[in-house]
């Protein structure tokens, strides 16, 4: 069961920059809470305004956001990165948590299908549920949902701005052989 979280608990944020633009990583005292990837191509000011509108208490950095922003900038420069960051999982279900653990284990440049993920969590008939978990992923890139494809290897939905084009860009950057 999902536990609620008060928005004023989301107190920390860090901006990261890359060739695509700017992104944000937000955190609570428990870990990463949400990531805004740079695909929207908003200006830094517009993105900052949107993030502070959603999370007005997020006014400072902490060690998690500083490290996370550094790692995300490295990742978007084309480096394989080990995101060893704590996640605040209170906003996700136990099913999503199991799915995200499996997806975080997919190596850089590799892909898996929704069906394979469902089988790994010992729920072989839940490929659609895996898809819904990917669509609700508040930790894109750290939980690399872009590495999860349709059963036939088809690029399917991606909930980040830019949709499938962003997913394709990430997989090409990683040198994935599926595309």
In the chain, what are the helix, strand and coil shares in percent, each to the nearest 5?
40, 15, 45
* Active-site choice (13, 110, 145, 178): 145
Q: How far apart are CA 76 and CA 16, in angstroms?
A: 10
Q: What is the pTM of this model?
A: 0.90
The DSSP code for 54 is: H
Domains of the chain: 7-76 (no CATH), 94-174 (1.10.10.10)
One pLDDT digit (tens) per residue for the chain, 179 residues: 444 567 789 999 999 999 888 999 999 999 999 999 998 778 899 999 999 999 999 999 999 999 999 999 999 999 999 999 999 999 999 999 999 999 999 999 999 999 999 999 988 888 899 999 999 999 999 999 999 998 777 777 766 666 778 888 899 999 987 54
The pairing of strands 21-28 and 31-36 is: antiparallel
Q: Is 145 part of the annotated catalytic residue set?
A: yes
């Amino acid at each position: 069961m999902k536990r609620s979280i008060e928005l004023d608990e989301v107190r920390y944020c860090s901006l990261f920059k890359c060739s695509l633009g700017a992104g944000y990583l937000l955190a609570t005292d428990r870990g990463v809470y949400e990531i805004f990837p740079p695909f929207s191509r908003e200006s830094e000011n517009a993105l900052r305004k949107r993030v502070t509108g959603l999370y007005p208490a997020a006014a400072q950095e902490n060690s998690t956001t500083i490290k996370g922003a550094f790692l995300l900038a490295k990742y978007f420069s084309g480096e394989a990165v080990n995101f060893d960051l704590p996640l605040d999982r209170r906003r996700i279900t136990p099913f999503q948590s199991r799915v995200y653990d499996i997806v975080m284990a997919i190596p850089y440049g590799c892909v898996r299908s929704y069906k394979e993920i469902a089988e790994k969590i010992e729920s072989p008939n839940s490929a659609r549920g895996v898809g819904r978990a990917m669509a609700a992923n508040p930790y894109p890139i750290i939980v690399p949902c872009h590495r999860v494809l349709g059963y036939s290897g088809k690029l399917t939905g991606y909930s980040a701005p830019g949709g499938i084009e962003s997913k394709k860009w990430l997989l090409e950057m990683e040198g994935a052989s599926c595309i």
